[in-house]
Amino acid sequence: MSAVLLRLRPIVHATPTATGLHVRGWRSSFTLDGGKGLWTIWERLAGPLADGVPPEQLAVPENASPAVARALELLIGQLHEHDMLVEVPAQWSEGQWGEAQSGDDVPADIASWLESVAPSPLEAWQRLRSAMVVVTGEGALAAHAHRALVAVGLDVTLRPGAGLLLVGGAHAVAAGCAADAGFVVAPGSVADVQADAVAVAERLAGASGPPPEVLAALVGSAAAHRLVCAVGGLPDPSTEVVDMWSDVPPTGPPHQAVLVARLDPLHAEYHPWLSPVRPQEPNGTVLDVLGDRELGPVPTPLPGELPQLPVKLAASGDVVGFGTTEHAARLDALLRSARSLAPDGVVLGADQVHALGLALRTAVRHLDGTTVEEDEWAADPTARRWWKAVTLRFALPAVVEVTRLGPRVVRAVVRADGEELSWAVEASPADAVAFAAMAAAGRAQAGVTGTVVLCGAAPFAEPDGAAAPWTNRDWYWPYGLRDGEEAFQDDLRALAADVKPVHLGPVLEAAGLVAFAVQEDGR
C-alpha cells in the first residue's frame, strides 16, 4: 500500500484578524482568538500542509511552549472538525499514482477540485476513470454536457436523442432546456430521471423552441456536474449551497432538488421537487416545498394586494387563506389550494395533529348540546375583539350560537341572514367564538363565499416577543393553544364518529400533508 499524505484542502483560506485568525473552507469556517501570534503559528503550519505531511507528523512538538502547544491543538482540531484536511497518495503531488495504481496522469485542475470536495480524492478519481458515460441528446445542450464530461477525463460516447440523458454506470441524470428556462433533475435510475424530467418540464411549462447558447451551456454543464459527482461518490451540488451569512454547514434542500435555470436575468438555483416516482419522507416546511415558486404543485401563497386588517390574508391562485399572522394566512391558503389535489370529501391538515384535530372537530360539529350564555365568553378580550370586527367593523347582521357539546368541547357558529358564515369547535367558549368570529371577519374582508373554518390545531409559528414577561394571551393568540391539542382531541374522541386516515399519494404525503375521511353524523 502506497504512503499517504495529509494535505490542506486547496479551497481552505485564512485571514488574520486583530485578535487571531479566521479560516474558511467550502462548507464551513471557524475563528480563533488568542493574539496576533496565532497568525505566525498558522503560517508555519499551513506551509507544510499545503504540500502534504505524513499523518503521524501532524502533531504538537514535544518542545513547544504551553501557549504554542495549546494553539496548535486548537488549530489542528478545528481543521479536522471542519473537514479541511484530506488524505492523498504520496505520488499524487507528482501528478500520478505510479504503476501500482494506474498509468493515467491526474490533470492538475481535476486533482485540485477533488482535493477540495472529495472525501477520498483517490477513490473518486478511480471511479471516474473506470466509468463509461453515454450522452444522449442533440444540439447545444448535449454538446456542452459532452464537452464538460470530457474535460473531467471521462470516457464519453455521444448518441442522438430527444432532451438530454446522461448515463454513467448505475447513475443517470436528465435535463431539458427551452427558449427561456432549463432544468436538471437529481441523479437516479434511468427510468426515474426520465419520468421526473417529463413531469418537471410540464410543471415549468417554459417557452418552446431551441435554447440560447448561454442557457444551454449552463444547463448542460450543470447536468454533467451532477453526473460526475454521482459517479465519483461526491456530494450532490445541491447540498453545497452556502449561506454567506452563516457558518453553519448547509443541510441541503428539504427534498429531492431540481436545478432550474432562467434566461432573463440568467440565473440558476435548486428547488425542492415532490417526485411522483421517487417519493421521500416529509422534511422541511410545507410552505417551502408545496408552494415553491418554480416547482410547487400549488401556487405560491402570498399576501399580494389583499387587505391585511384586521385579519391577515394570503392568496394561492384563486384561493384565499386567513390567519392572525402572515405565516398563518399563507399556510391556510396553501392547504385550501392543496385540497384540489386531494380526494373528495377528506379533511386536509398540515401534519398529523392538525389533520386529526380538524377531522374530529368536523365529526362532532352537528351534535346536540346545551346553550352557553354570552357572559361565559364576552368578557374575554380576544373573543370580544373578533366579534366586534364582525358586527362593528364589517357591520354584518350576525349572530353567534355557542353550544357545549361535552365537558370540555364547545361549538360556536356565526350566521348572518340565515347563512352560515363560519364555525369552530374548541375547548373553551372564548376560543370557539374567537376562531368563528375571526373566520367570519376574514370572509367579509376577502369578499369570498362559503363557510370558513379555522381552529387551534394548526401549527402556529412562534411570534416575536412571545416570551416577554409582560405579554399575555391577548398579545399572541392563538399561539400556544396547540400545546393542549392532544388532550383536547381525547375529549373529542369521546364524542366523535370514526375518522379514518386517507392515502393522499406520494406528492402530498412527501410534502407532509395528512388527510382523514370524516363521518359527520356523530354516534
pLDDT at 118 > cutoff 60:
yes
Q: What integer pLDDT is reported at residue 243 of this predicted model?
A: 47
Q: What integer pLDDT is reported at residue 393 of this predicted model?
A: 93
Q: What is the pLDDT of residues 283-292, one digit of tens each?
A: 667 778 888 8
Q: Is 193 exposed, middle or buried (0-12, 13-18, 19+ CB in 10 A)?
A: buried
Q: Is 337 exposed, middle or buried (0-12, 13-18, 19+ CB in 10 A)?
A: buried
The domain locations on the chain are: 4-89, 131-278, 285-523
Comparing C-alpha atoms, which of 153, 337, 194, 208 is closest to residue 277? 194
- Give the pLDDT mean for 73-84: 90
| Mean pLDDT, the chain, whole residue set | 86
| 4-89 to CATH, choices 3.90.930.70, 3.40.50.720, 3.30.300.30, 3.20.20.140 | 3.90.930.70
Q: What is the CA radius of gyration of the chain?
A: 30
pTM over 0.95? The answer is: no
pLDDT at 384 > cutoff 50:
yes
Q: What is the pLDDT of residues 170-210, one digit of tens each?
A: 999 999 998 889 999 999 999 999 999 999 998 888 666 78
Q: What is the pLDDT of residues 132-145, one digit of tens each?
A: 999 999 899 999 99
For 36-81, give the DSSP string.
THHHHHHHHHHHHHHH-B-GGG-S--TT--HHHHHHHHHHHHHHHH
Q: What is the pLDDT of residues 486-519, one digit of tens each?
A: 999 999 998 887 889 999 888 888 888 899 988 7
